[in-house]
Amino acid sequence: MSHPWLAQRTAEFDASGIRKVFDLAAKMADPINLSIGQPDFAVPDAMKDAAVEAIRDDKNGYSVTQGIPELREALQARIDNAYGHDDRRVLVTSGTSGALVIAMLAMIDPGDEVICFDPYFVMYPALVKMAGGKCVMIDTYPDFRIDPDKVAAAITPRTKMILLNSPANPTGVVAQEDEVRAVAELAAKHNIALLSDEIYRDFCYDAPPASPTSWNDQTIVVDGFSKTYGVTGWRLGWIHGPSALIDKLTMLQQYTFVCAPHPLQWAALAALDTNMNSHITEYRKRRDLLATGLKEAGYEVAPTGGAFYIFPKVPAGGGTGTEFVTRAIENELLVIPGTRCSNRDTHFRISYAATVETIERGLEVLRKLI
């Protein structure tokens, strides 16, 4: 039901389909939950201890908007070592979502076009619309690879930004180096902003991920701590890019989120010295278990090399993605219909950020459904 005081822009949005499934899971006795992209491992003790210590040391007020100097300097050193750009600066944000919000507000004017790749992270179209922009979708089916010729053809005088996500949510696909380089060079050639969402960069199982920053020094990169360290509820992200942009994003953060949670920034500093390789190795095993199980059952699965998602096609005779997911939920299996992150209704998203036992239970239901 609408309300006369609501702004017109609110009519563009519905509750996230992923959040609806999350709410459904809370009402089920023993769901097989392969829906939510939230790491299932415990937060490292070093981070917990650092957070508790910061709270007990009364580091509970505002931090400077940019983030505590110690964390910013540590992140800046990493960025400088990786790219060596003279004019690249970092801002600590209130989650990667916070970084995306202020980036859209800073760069997108009403009527501007933003090139996105379908399938896409569920928030992208909503954030672009909030800023008054328009998403121009490039279809990447069936293998979810980026075709630079399609990107070039989609560029118009209104194109303001290209939005790249690799490793990708919902597909788990990692863009190949030649694809990333081509997009980076196109953005530079046409003087278009290139925003690279790299929140899953640590979850790459077959080869290191390529960042467009290597070929385009104006690239804006969004990153964060939520996925790598299992702290999705802490709302800790960061963004880096040209200093003039970061200065303006800092001003926008002052008037929106103010700063990232102060005591938890000290925990993030501890995170930078925490080795998460054992967790990444475990997730690689889960990827292999799920991908192999799906293929053996007869599902069509594109090669996935990162994040913790697989985006299978609904089998022949299985109806639409929405119909298939409805039957899965009737069998206590929670997965996400592809329509929540795509213009097509042919696929569904599975998250393997779950125990091996849960994945095996899920495969049992999926074999039955096929």
Say which residues have a Cβ less than 8 Å from residue 331's Cβ, sequence separation at least 6.
365, 368, 369
pLDDT at 22: 58
Checking if the pLDDT of 200 tops 90, the result is: yes
Upper half-sphere CA count for residue 204 (Cβ side, 13 Å):
17
Nearest CA among 153, 205, 211, 155 for reference residue 179 = 211
Checking if the pLDDT of 198 tops 80, the result is: yes
The answer to whether the CB of 237 falls within 8 A of the CB of 208 is no
Q: Higher confidence at residue 52 or residue 24? A: 52
pLDDT at 30: 82
Summarised one tens digit per residue, pLDDT across range 62-92 is 999 999 999 999 999 999 999 999 999 999 9
The answer to whether the CB of 178 falls within 8 A of the CB of 166 is no
Distance CA 183, CA 148 (A): 6
Confidence of residue 25 (pLDDT cuts 50, 70, 90): low
Summarised one tens digit per residue, pLDDT across range 283-311 is 999 999 999 999 999 999 999 999 999 99
Distance CA 252, CA 229 (A): 27
pLDDT at 143: 96
Q: Is 197 left (phi over 0), alpha (psi -120 to 50) or beta?
A: beta
Checking if the pLDDT of 343 tops 90, the result is: yes
Domain parsing of the chain, residue ranges: 8-43+276-369, 57-271
pLDDT at 255: 96
pTM: 0.93
pLDDT at 13: 74
One-letter-per-residue 3-state SS of the chain: CCCCCCCHHHHHCCCCHHHHHHHHHHHCCCCEECCCCCCCCCCCHHHHHHHHHHHHCCCCCCCCCCCCHHHHHHHHHHHHHHHCCCCEEEEEECHHHHHHHHHHHHHCCCCCEEEEEECCCCHHHHHHHHCCCEEEEEECCCCCCCCHHHHHHHCCCCEEEEEEECCCCCCCCCCCHHHHHHHHHHHHHHCCEEEEECCCCCCECCCCCCCHHHCCCCCEEEEECHHHHCCHHHCCEEEEEEHHHHHHHHHHHHCCCCCCCHHHHHHHHHHCCCCCHHHHHHHHHHHHHHHHHHHHHCCECCCCCECCEECCECCCCCCCHHHHHHHHHHCCEECEEHHHHCCCCCEEEEECCCCHHHHHHHHHHHHHHC
pLDDT at 267: 96
**Regarding the domain delimited by 8-43+276-369, which CATH topology (the fold level of the hierarchy) does it fall under?**
Aspartate Aminotransferase, domain 1 (3.90.1150)
pLDDT at 10: 80
Amino acid (one-letter) located at 58: D
Q: What mean pLDDT comes out for the span 37-55?
A: 93
Checking if the pLDDT of 173 tops 90, the result is: yes
Checking if the pLDDT of 240 tops 70, the result is: yes
C-alpha distance from residue 191 to each of 40, 182, 185, 188, 207 (Å):
41, 14, 10, 5, 30
Q: What mean pLDDT comes out for the span 204-209?
A: 93
Summarised one tens digit per residue, pLDDT across range 93-140 is 999 999 999 999 999 999 999 999 999 999 999 999 999 999 999 999
Checking if the pLDDT of 46 tops 90, the result is: yes
pLDDT at 23: 64
Distance CA 370, CA 365 (A): 9
| Residue 206: Cβ within 10 Å count | 11
Checking if the pLDDT of 19 tops 60, the result is: no
pLDDT at 37: 86
Q: Which of 24-33, 157-166, 320-329, 340-349 has the weakest average pLDDT?
A: 24-33
pLDDT at 190: 97
Q: Taking the mean position of all CA atoms in its chain, how far away is CA 8?
A: 27
Q: Higher confidence at residue 36 or residue 185? A: 185
pLDDT at 17: 54
Q: What mean pLDDT comes out for the span 9-33?
A: 69
Chain mean pLDDT for the chain:
93
Q: Which of 1-5, 78-82, 179-183 has the weakest average pLDDT?
A: 1-5
pLDDT at 6: 86
Checking if the pLDDT of 16 tops 90, the result is: no
Top-tier CATH class for 57-271: alpha beta
Amino acid (one-letter) located at 16: S
